[in-house]
Amino acid sequence: MILKIYPKIQRFYTIGDCMLLRKKYFQWCYILFLCSQSLGNTNIVFEATFHPSTIHLGEHATWMVTAKNVIVRQVNFPQPVVNSLRLKYESGTFNTQIINGVSQQSTLWRFSAFPQSTGTFRIPEISIDIQGQTYAIPTTTLTVLPPDNRTQQSITGTSTPIFLRLEHKMPDTWYLGQSCPMEIQLLIAENVRGQLTNLPQKNGDTFAATHLTDAPEKTYKSIQGTNYQCISWATLVTPLKSGPQTLSFNLDLMIEQSSVLNQKPDEEDDNDLLSFFNRSFSGVFSQPKAITVDTSPLKVVVQPLPTPQPQPFHQAIGYFQLASPRIEEKEAIQDEPITFQVTLQGSGNFERIQEPTLIFDTSEWRTYLPKSNFEPSDKLGFTGKMYYEYLIVPMKSGEVELPIVHFCYFDTTTQSYIHLKKAYPFKLNVKPPIKSSQVKTLSSEVKPSPEPSMPLFGKIVLQNICWENPQWLWQRRGFYPLQWILFLTSLGLSFIGVRYHRRTYDKEYQLKMQHKHLYKETERALKQAFDARDVTAFYSCAYKIVSLTILLKCKQQHVSVNEIDDLVTQLANLGIQLPNEQLQYLQSLEQKYRQSQFGQFNNEQCPDSLQDLKDLLRAIK
């Protein structure tokens, strides 16, 4: 079909090239077919279901939303909010099928649903925007029944095989912004085989909790005669809203429970958290079951800090102590900085506190914001030491008193604001500045700023530096000559490629080149016969060269030289009109050629000149 539609391809390409074109043709047809199928499926339909639709409290279901006839790669999916039902996004997948030549596409989103109480939970209709159009996700319903305690007790032999709890030593009254250390403990009976799927998650947004570690502590505990395996996560919890609040955590895990109480724990891998619960038993196990355990709600009253707050108040809540400041230099030079070290230790919200304030006479000192370094004493960072390094610059010489350190925090034990002030016990001897025109003091490079001030050396000025301009590729020597060489080389290779292609695949060009080659050989033989005065060879070559000239003129490649019988008739058919002298010369030339073929020459001689033959060829061309 390709050769019939495009006849020129048959002359310029081989059969292999045509087969390649045929293959690409069918590929493009297949792609256009898929595009037409995808464009035709514009009826986008949304479906939503719970699987399973009925569960017991403590179990979880999967909420699946399917978009048919479309593939959605980026969309702001509106996650619904339902009271006492926590939805957690799991995954999104795409699917494309071709059934009986029809393309079917779909997008599937999966959410895990964790109910916090029994009842019927209804997810209302949700609107979603896709490709500039609004679609509706239908309403779905989940039924949650009371927990199946009878089945659980018959399998495990205890009423509380797994539970999650909070351990802390905080009072029932907290303060807004206070850091409260506590532990999240997961206890699971030894006859339960389970696997953790994630870390404990905080319920609600009224508290902030630090990130939980992936390597918690592992211990054993005995509660009311039952042995438990215990995993503990330490965290710092900070209330964000005042008033009565409730704090709780939840944890998802997979369990397998055994009906045989005689078990032998295998050797544990302390570096693998998930293998902590993996046990082998001499009994038959049930199928793995996904459950969610929650801590008992911790009810606390969060109070705001007493007002009015003193100024300055450094946002510290807890218990802190301030050490006496230290300096490394025994003497100082005017307008040159020294290091002023302050140490703050205690327990509280170190991550939120502000640096202590320096009290000084502005005519004597100039200060800058300090560098801080915290060294925790526990794994939570609730207790420890905070080190501050101030850069202070004396403004005058003589005996000068160092700045006084002031720190204010709120003590939760006494429920009052505490002011701490520490001063360096001795005066500092400041020498006059060094007088030299070649030495630049710090005062000429660093500008003072009011409290709090900018950090020292916050801006560095580079002077007397000669930056070398970048040299681009076209600015380098030899770039343009190299480009000309590459251009001429590519042009020559293109010319050679075209000539090779024409000589190899173009039949018309090949025949034309054969005629030209034959014309040149005949012209060379004609000159040799004229020089040798060979009458028979001369008129034979003269007739052939005239025939080739006419043949190239009419471009009849399929006609050979021997097929041209009458030269005058061929010229008349081509519409070429010659003068009478040249026409008579052509007839005489053809007649002498016929005589030479049959040996009928009667003392015929070669002409004295080739001018008449050249004029005839020029007229035909």
Assign residue 364 the CATH number of its domain.
2.60.40
**What's the domain count of the chain?**
5
Among the candidates 418, 445, 472, a domain finishes at 445
Query: Is residue 488 in a domain?
Result: no
> In terms of DSSP H, where are the helices of 191-304?
none
Q: Which residues pair with 293 in a beta bridge?
A: 251
Q: Which amino acid is at 97?
A: Q
374 shares a domain with 274: no
Residues 9 and 128 in one domain: no
Residue 318 has pLDDT above 50, yes or no: yes
Instruction: Based on the fold, state whether residues 161 and 225 are members of the same structural domain.
Output: yes
Residue 187 in any domain: the answer is yes
Q: Is residue 175 domain-shared with residue 106, that is, in the same domain?
A: no
Query: Does 349 reside within a domain?
Result: yes
pLDDT in tens, 35-77: 554 444 457 888 999 988 888 887 778 888 898 888 776 667 7
What amino acid occupies position 284? V
What is the gyration radius of the CA atoms in the chain, in angstroms? 50
Asked if residue 460 belongs to a domain, the reply is no
Q: 345 or 79, which is more confident?
A: 345
pLDDT tens track for 82-102: 888 888 887 777 777 666 666
* Out of 71-85, 230-244, 252-266, least confident range: 252-266
- At 382-422, the pLDDT tens digits run 999 999 999 999 998 888 889 999 999 999 888 899 999 99
Query: What pLDDT, on the 0 to 100 scale, is given for residue 28?
Result: 65
Bridge partners of 218?
231
Residue 146 binned pLDDT confidence (cut-offs 50, 70, 90): confident
In a domain, residue 467? The reply is no
Percent of the chain with pLDDT over 70: 75
Same structural domain, 607 and 518: yes
Contacts with 500 (C-beta within 8 Å, 6 or more apart), sequence order: none
Q: Residues 132, 62: one domain?
A: yes
Nearest to 47 by CA among 139, 142, 143: 139
| Shared domain check, 261 and 153 | yes
Are 175 and 412 spatial neighbours (Cβ–Cβ below 8 Å)? yes
Mean per-residue pLDDT for 122-135?
A: 85
Q: Looking at the structure, do residues 139 and 153 belong to the same domain, yes or no?
A: no
Domain end position, chosen among 398, 424, 445:
445
**Which residue among 282, 303, 324 closes a domain?**
303
Cβ atoms of 614 and 589 within 8 Å: the answer is no
Could you list the residue range(s) of the whole structural domain that residue 92 is in? 45-145
Q: Is residue 154 part of a domain?
A: yes
Average pLDDT of span 157-169? 75
Tens-digit pLDDT profile for residues 329-339: 878 899 899 99
Establish if 50 belongs to a structural domain. yes
pLDDT of residue 24: 60
What pLDDT does 253 receive? 85
Q: Are 570 and 548 in contact (CB under 8 A)?
A: no
Give the Cα separation of 619 and 621 in Å (integer).
6
The reply to whether 8 and 34 lie within a common domain is yes
Do 527 and 511 belong together in one domain?
yes
* Structure-token pair, residue 120: 């019927």
Most confident range (mean pLDDT) of 26-30, 138-142, 559-563, 570-574 is 138-142
Residues 315 and 305: their CA atoms lie apart, in Å, by 10
Distance from C-alpha of 388 to C-alpha of 371, rounded to nearest angstrom: 6
Give residue 610's pLDDT band: very low, low, confident or very high (50, 70, 90). confident
User: For residue 210, is it within any domain?
Assistant: yes
Residues 433 and 323 in one domain: yes
458-467: b (≥16 Cβ within 10 Å) or e: eeeeeeeeee
Q: Do 183 and 111 sit in the same domain of this protein?
A: no
